[in-house]
Each structure stands twice: as C-alpha cells, then as structure tokens.
C-alpha cells in the first residue's frame, strides 16, 4: 500500500512539473532556432540578440481549461528585452521673435516681443534685447534759452538762436546769473580831502533803458546831477555823471560847496527807475553795488 501511495505522489509531481513547464513562455532564436527563456536578451546557444523575437518569433505554450496540449495557432507576440528611453526636452531661451525651442522641434511658451527704447535726435528706437531698430530719429529735446546760453538740446548739445533776457524779477538781481540791473562805482577827485563834487560811473546791464535821477546821496549829503535832470541810459551802455553837493536853502553861497570829505570808504545811495519799478542800491568807491531791496525808495 505504501508503494502505491509513493507512486501516486511521484506521478503528481511529474505532472505538475510538466504543467508548469508547458505554461512557460519561450523565445526562439532566429539564428539557430534554440528556445530561450522569455526574459533572455541573448541566445544561450549562439549569443545572438533576441530582440527580433518581438516580431512574431515568440511562441507561448498556453493551457486553457485543463488542456495541456500546445496550440500553435494561439502563439502570442510579446515584446521582450527592449529598453525604451524617455526624451526629456531641453528648451533654449525665448527670443524677441521666437519661443524657446528643443532640438526635437518642440516649442515652449511664446516669443518675448521687442523691448524698444525711445528714439532720440541721434539714434533710432532700438530693442534693448536684440538690437533691432525702427528707422527714423526723434526731434531735438530743446531746453529753454537763458541769459547765459541759447536754447540747447539736452541730448546732443546742439544750440539754436540767441540768449534770453535776464530774469531780474522784482529783486533787481538776475535769478540765473546773479547780474544786477545796473552797477555803480563812485569816483572822487581827491581821496582823503574836501571835495565839492564826485562822479558816478553807471552801467546798464539790462535790455531796457534805465532812468538815472537828478539827485543822489553821497556820504550823507544830497548831491545834484550837473545837468540837473534825469539821465536815460540805454541797454548795455555806461556813463560817467558828475554830481555836486547841493546848496541848502539856508546856505547863501555863490559857489559850489567843497566841504564833502571823500576817501576810499565813501559811499552813496541811489534810486533808479527800470521798467516802471524803482530799485534802491548802495554803492562805494571800490565799485561794489549792493541791492538792499527791489522796488523801494530809500534804504530797507
């Protein structure tokens, strides 16, 4: 009885092994015909590559519904041993006119578009990224003329026309160049002694006439213009006007007074009319003209 059981067990093992072997897929080498395991990359007999087996050379032993026979018509083509590489894009940077591109021809996003900087009088409008230009120049960027410079292009430096008038305003001093409407210097015949007269050299720095009054003050004394009337001074001109100490009503002299003491420290004051406004100034022997305030009579 034990022998019968042992024979039955051995038969089952043999049958199971045969059944497992029958279900194993094999690949036939196209070179020598040797059957190889489906996972083999090369023939065990001749060493040939087995990738061609994926094109109908693979044979499968299939067992369906307990049938252990191999059905040749149910052979299944299976791709075995082929390595597939996934392509990774490497895009170039996008330009003004084209998007980023991969070597395979694929594109990424869109073109950036040009970034033009404005044209000037010396250069056309140019793209900051690629240098592409739009033909044509812009007009000059003119800055207004001043009393020291004609109008000037801020880009190329070209000038046009002439200088403008001084901007004296109500102060009598140009806000651009600090020049005064007029300058005065006091001249005396004898410094350090008594004098009966002194002279004023007056210069008109403006573009309009100035009216020089008939009377001025020198060292606290009232002095009269030799012509005893106002003097008109044209633009850009200078004039020397002599003033004598005036005779007071209480004084009874037949000749000019010579009792003014004048030296290097002598000063005087004057009010000059320019464009309908009066300007007060103090002057000295050293030629300095100090404006205290515009459009007033007398010291501030």
In whole angstroms, give the CA distance from residue 165 to residue 169: 11
Q: What residues contact residue 262 under an 8 Å CB cut-off, 6+ apart?
A: 188, 190, 191, 192, 193, 195, 198, 218, 219, 285
How many helices (H) and strands (E) the chain has is answered by 1, 23
How many other CB atoms are there within 10 angstroms of residue 193's CB atom? 12
Render pLDDT for 43-70 as a digit per residue (tens, 0 to 9).
Answer: 877 777 775 444 344 444 334 444 444 4
User: 158: closest CA among 137, 178, 183?
Assistant: 137
How many residues can be counted in the chain? Answer: 300
pLDDT at residue 254 greater than cutoff 70 = no
Structure tokens at 164: 């403008």
Domain with CATH 2.60.40 in the chain: 182-294
Q: According to DSSP H, which parts of the chain are helical? A: 2-23
Render pLDDT for 87-103 as a digit per residue (tens, 0 to 9).
Answer: 888 989 999 999 999 98
pLDDT at residue 299 greater than cutoff 60 = no
User: 262: closest CA among 168, 187, 178, 163?
Assistant: 187
Render pLDDT for 260-276 as a digit per residue (tens, 0 to 9).
Answer: 888 888 888 888 888 88
pTM above 0.75, yes or no: no
In Å, how far are 25, 52, 62 from 39, measured between CA atoms? 9, 13, 17
| Backbone CA torsion sign across 262, 265, 271, 273 | positive
pLDDT at residue 195 greater than cutoff 70 = yes
Q: What residues contact residue 255 under an 8 Å CB cut-off, 6+ apart?
A: none
Q: Name beta bridge partners: 193.
A: 262
What is the second-level CATH architecture of the domain 182-294?
Answer: Sandwich (2.60)
Report yes or no: 181 and 272 within 8 Å, Cβ to Cβ. Answer: yes
pLDDT at residue 107 greater than cutoff 70 = yes
Residue burial 238-254, b: 16+ Cβ < 10 Å; e: rest: eeebebbbeeeeeeeee
Taking residues 247-269, what's their average pLDDT?
72
pLDDT at residue 83 greater than cutoff 70 = no
Predicted confidence band of residue 34 (pLDDT cuts 50, 70, 90): confident
Taking residues 218-238, what's their average pLDDT?
86
What's residue 82's pLDDT? 57
β-bridge pairing 197-204 and 193-195: unpaired
Q: Over the chain, what is the mean pLDDT?
A: 77
How many other CB atoms are there within 10 angstroms of residue 98's CB atom? 13
In whole angstroms, give the CA distance from residue 152 to residue 292: 34
81 CA to centre of own chain: 63
Q: What residues contact residue 10 under an 8 Å CB cut-off, 6+ apart?
A: none
What number of CA atoms fall less than 13 Å from residue 147's CA on the CB side?
16
What's residue 295's pLDDT? 53
Predicted confidence band of residue 256 (pLDDT cuts 50, 70, 90): low
Structure tokens at 202: 């007056």
* Least reliable range by pLDDT among 82-91, 230-239, 275-284: 82-91
What's residue 257's pLDDT? 66
In whole angstroms, give the CA distance from residue 64 to residue 61: 10
């Amino acid at each position: 009885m034990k022998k019968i059981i042992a024979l039955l067990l051995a038969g089952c093992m043999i049958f199971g092994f045969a059944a497992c072997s029958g279900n194993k897929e094999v690949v036939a080498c196209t070179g020598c015909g040797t059957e190889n395991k489906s996972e083999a990359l090369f023939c065990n007999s001749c060493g040939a590559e087995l990738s061609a087996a994926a094109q109908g050379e693979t044979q499968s032993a299939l067992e369906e519904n307990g049938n252990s026979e191999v059905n040749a018509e149910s052979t299944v083509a299976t791709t075995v041993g082929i390595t597939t590489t996934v392509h990774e894009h490497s895009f170039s940077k996008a330009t003004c006119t084209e998007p980023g591109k991969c070597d395979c021809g694929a594109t990424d996003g869109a073109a950036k578009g040009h970034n033009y900087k404005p044209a000037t009088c010396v250069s056309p409008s140019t793209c900051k990224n690629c240098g592409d230009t739009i033909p044509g120049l812009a007009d000059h960027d003119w800055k207004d003329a001043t009393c020291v410079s004609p109008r000037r292009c801020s880009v190329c430096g070209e000038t046009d026309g002439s200088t403008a008038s001084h901007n004296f305003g109500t102060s009598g001093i140009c806000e651009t160049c600090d020049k005064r409407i007029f300058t005065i210097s006091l001249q005396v015949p004898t410094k350090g002694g008594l004098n009966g007269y002194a002279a004023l050299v007056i210069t008109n720095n403006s573009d309009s006439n100035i009216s020089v009054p008939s009377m001025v003050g020198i060292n606290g004394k009232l002095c009269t213009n030799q012509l005893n009337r106002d003097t008109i001074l044209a633009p850009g001109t200078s004039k020397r006007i002599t003033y004598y100490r005036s005779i007071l009503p209480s004084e009874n002299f037949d000749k000019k007074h010579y009792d003014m003491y004048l030296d290097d420290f002598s000063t005087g004051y004057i009010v000059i009319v320019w464009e309908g406004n009066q300007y007060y100034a103090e002057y000295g022997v050293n030629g300095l003209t100090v404006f205290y305030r515009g459009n007033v009579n007398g010291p501030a």
